[in-house]
Amino acid sequence: MEKQILGYESIDLSRPNIVPELKLFLHRHQLPLGKDSRTGITEMVSAVGHSCERSPDLLSQYMSYKVFDRCPDDWSLGQKLILRGCEPLPRRRCLAKTVAKQDLKPFPDSLWRPVSNKSVNWSGLGCKGFDCLKGKKIGSDCVGCFDLGTEKDRFVKVKGKNDFLVDDVLGLANGKIRIGFDVSGGSGTFAARMAERNVTVITNALNNGGPFSEFVAARGVFPLFLSLDHRFPFHDNVFDLVHGSSGLDVEGKPEKMEFLMFDLDRVLKPGGLFWLDNFYCASDVKKKELTRLIERFGYKKLKWVIGEKADGQVNLSAVLQKPVRV
């Protein structure tokens, strides 16, 4: 049982295609004083995702580098492994590629100043500059989101009945919102708006189709490079606010969204707000599935708006308050 929990046998190190650096990283280390009385473990093992075992060739390619030298310019390979459930990644002993000159703006001007192309490593991406990305739809949570001129209206101007103003939502918590988590954060505009109001927000951002993580960081807010299949690296009941939209619908699979919702509930503190922002439902069935899932958590509905279109498509926006459970 101990070996299974710690992941000792998740990767077969006897395979011929396992590179030496990966074998060294996964080598077991005996505790010098024997069994630890608090945890019960006798060996230390390095963390690597169990799903890495399903992609041994990609993993060996990713771990093929010269120790103490520059890492290969292959962040997209690492992201491919992450999206296959292989996280945390095992690469440690090489030096990450940097850009020559970042050309960053001071905070808070950085929140709305255009981000320089020089601030980003464009390798592995189809576009090689932000002009190429402006106006493009890159997933459900990014339609022209790299154009800060357009983004500047978000959360402060209403375009439809499903749009909530950030100050109205903060007012529901009577000034008790201090830290938050934006699950499908796009280019970091929600975090930027909250930063203007002295609220710290962590933005979950993979580089799917664009340099989201670098862009968010260049604006002066905190990006988290993590897939939504991963358990969030936060303790229970820590965030005052969780914000998410259609990106919560992971691959359109109800069971994946259920796992995700339970983890979001875990990190949201009692009395905290869950802001569901323009969640797209392709059908009435999808809306009913989402409604049933939300109702299972027993949240109080502070705002609940359904915008229906003639073709049966539905957008759901809500602000929900987590109950105290004892």
Closest CA to 263 of 296, 230, 311, 218: 230
Other CB atoms within 10 A of residue 156 CB: 12
Q: Would you state the pLDDT for residue 282? A: 79
Q: Would you state the pLDDT for residue 310? A: 57
| 108 prior amide bond cis, ω within 30 | yes
Query: Inter-axis angle of helices 284-295 and 254-267, to 10 degrees?
Result: 30
Q: Would you state the pLDDT for residue 12? A: 73
Q: What is the mean pLDDT of each run of 10 residues along the chain (326 residues)?
A: 49 78 81 82 76 88 94 93 89 89 88 92 91 85 89 93 95 94 92 97 93 95 92 96 90 85 97 94 84 94 85 85 94
DSSP conformation letters of 83-128: HTT--S----SSBPP--S---PPPTTGGGTSPPPGGGS--TT-S-S
CATH 3.40.50.150 fits 109-321, yes or no: yes
CA–CA separation, 200 vs 177, rounded Å?
Answer: 9
321 bridge partner residues = 273, 300
Q: Would you state the pLDDT for residue 75? A: 92
Per-domain residue ranges for the chain? 2-83, 109-321
Q: Would you state the pLDDT for residue 309? A: 67
Q: How are beta strands 300-308 and 314-321 bridged, if at all? A: antiparallel
CA–CA separation, 217 vs 197, rounded Å?
Answer: 18
Q: Would you state the pLDDT for residue 104? A: 87
CA–CA separation, 13 vs 19, rounded Å?
Answer: 9
**Does the reported pTM lie above 0.85?**
yes
Q: Would you state the pLDDT for residue 62? A: 94
Is residue 213 exposed (0-12), middle (13-18) or buried (19+ Cβ within 10 Å)?
A: buried
Secondary structure (3-state) at 222: strand
